[in-house]
Chain A
Amino acid sequence: MVERVRGIKFHKKQDVAIVGAGITLFRRRLNETGKELSYYAVKQALEEAGLDISDIEMVVMGSAPDAFDGVHMKGEYLLDGSGGSNKPYMRFFVGGGTGVFAPIAGYWHVASGLADVCLVVTEEKMSSSHPHPQSAFKYIWDPILDRPLNPNLIWIFALEMRRYMHVHNIKHEDIALVSVKNKANALDHPSAQLAAKITVEDVLNSEPMSLPVRRLDVSPPSDGASALIMVAPHIARQLTDEPVWVDGVGWALDTTWWTNRDLYFPRYVAEAAKMAYKMAHVTDPRKEIDVAEPYDPFDYKELHHMEGLGLARKGEAPILTREGVTARDGDLPVCPSGGLLGVGNPIAATMGVKVAELYWQLSYRAGKRQVAREVTTGVTQAWGDLMQVGTVVVLSNKR
């Protein structure tokens, strides 16, 4: 074992601020190419920040499996629409976790001092793949042990949801409340694909897909893109009086042998959150976090992830939801954007409803979606790879 030097951990060259964000429409199918979607998102982020593409020094691209767009090494393909031509440019990819991992990569570009102005772009065009984008997920499984059984993501999540319900004795009604809340929140999001006023009964009576998972427990496949601009403090001060700061970042992966995890608790999120909270000096997340955007591709996942993030004790997240604590006007608003369940799930591009939403909330630019309570610190998180990566970012508007 090597000896560690005290105080060296998380050493950075400079602080990192977010000064602009952009998001396209999220839709099941769009005519625009992935490059065009990226372009729209970047254009919007540049406008919000008051920057020109020539101000951008480095570009981070986040996009999930090549199989969706059907272009092998799609990072290179998406280069021009992302504003990366003739610049240091790299694509990052941790499956569904990419939407929060890409901004983590943007963070270290700036924190290290390599860049003062870094553009982060995320894109997904799931509708290119046929017969259904779900088929791409057939090929993430172990080819020897899992794939001959024809697994698909939804039934794997059904096992996890069942395990979570069993361990904590949670009813489907309690889980369905998340879907009701997020789809209603999405009514105020201009990008939303599946915003709706629905009831718990609608969820419980929706079509069974892979029980206990029903149609309205699930987020849709989507096309879309989003963008963020991350800058050094001396740049932020020139652009805005209200930058939002990246206080902490964390990521972790649990074992690839997913059958060897106990599925009721997302350890990958807990480990990632531990890293991010340590960096951000957050010691009691339930008290110190004012607003949260955990990853919600399924309704139970919001609850699962809240517990992983320490925003609720194990098994407590459904109770907080039922009591309205996680509503937009609650004490701890969760997914005020409408989340993946309401706005849509273009895998990596969900950065636009996770990190970008948190930025808009903390800079008081969320408009009709602005949460009722005063906010200074928020946490956002995504999840992916073989259901094993947790990616966490803590943002704050105080310095």
Chain B
Amino acid sequence: MVFNEKITNPAELRHVQGRIELYWIYTSGEAGDVFFKKLRDEGKFTASKCRKCGHVFFPPRIYCEFDFSETEYMEISGEGCVLAFSVISYDSDGNRLEKPEIYALIGMDGTDGKIIHLLGEIEPENIETGMKVVPVLKPKDQREGKITDILYFKPVS
């Protein structure tokens, strides 16, 4: 170890390259099936309520993580309010984004749950914590039953 040495390009060191060749198939599970089918086919949002303590989970789950009892599905509006937001300048690989993106933590009305998603149709300087937002979905024929079927949330006009 050399105290004043600063390595900027590790490829100049003696090295070999490697990668792990795997890919994964992730299933959305029981509650995910209910949630995403309803979103894809009807454009509606589902939460689930604990039969014992009444905690309303969003996204829905088949169990209550606090008392381990079952839940029942319930339809919610899909609307919510912005609890926090961030203006993103870099993508996940550290590359600068041409146009910054805005992500928000959104508390979902009628639930104890929250979701993260993009904000759209608004400039960063006009966003306020606590503002009401509604989801904007892809057209029905383009929906695949994925979280990206929600394009973004926009302010209530």
Contacts and interface: CB of A to CB of B under 8 A. Distances in A.
Contacts of B103: 149, 151, 155, 159
Given A144-B26, A162-B85, A210-B89, A259 B105 contact: yes
Contacts of A213: 86
B115 interface: yes
A385 to B, nearest CB: 15
B114 A159 contact: no
A131 B95 CA distance: 10
Interface string A193-237: 000000000000001111111000000000000000000000000
Contact of A149 (B32, B86, B118): B118
Contacts of B28: 144
Contact of B1 (A40, A135, A150, A211): A40
Contacts of B104: 159
A127 B147 contact: no
B68 interface: no
Contacts of B10: 29, 127-128
A384 to B, nearest CB: 19
Interface in A137-180: 137-138, 143-146, 148-152, 154-156, 158-160, 162-163, 166
A260 B1 contact: no
B147 A144 contact: yes
Interface in B1-20: 1, 3, 6-8, 10, 13, 18, 20
Nearest to B106: A259
Interface residues of B, number: 45
Nearest to B128: A166
A160 B84 contact: yes
B83 to A, nearest CB: 6
Contacts of A30: 1, 7
A175 to B, nearest CB: 15
Interface in B90-120: 90-94, 103-105, 112-118
A341 to B, nearest CB: 19
A305 to B, nearest CB: 18
Most buried by B among A127, A155, A213: A155
Interface string B57-84: 1110000010000000000000000011
Contacts of A72: 20
A257 B113 contact: yes
A380 B111 CA distance: 36
A258 to B, nearest CB: 9
A328 interface: no
20 contacts: A24-B1, A134-B92, A134-B93, A134-B94, A146-B116, A148-B147, A149-B117, A149-B148, A151-B103, A151-B116, A152-B90, A152-B92, A162-B84, A162-B129, A207-B89, A209-B89, A210-B89, A255-B65, A257-B57, A259-B115
- 3 interchain residue pairs of minimum CB distance: A158-B86, A143-B26, A163-B84
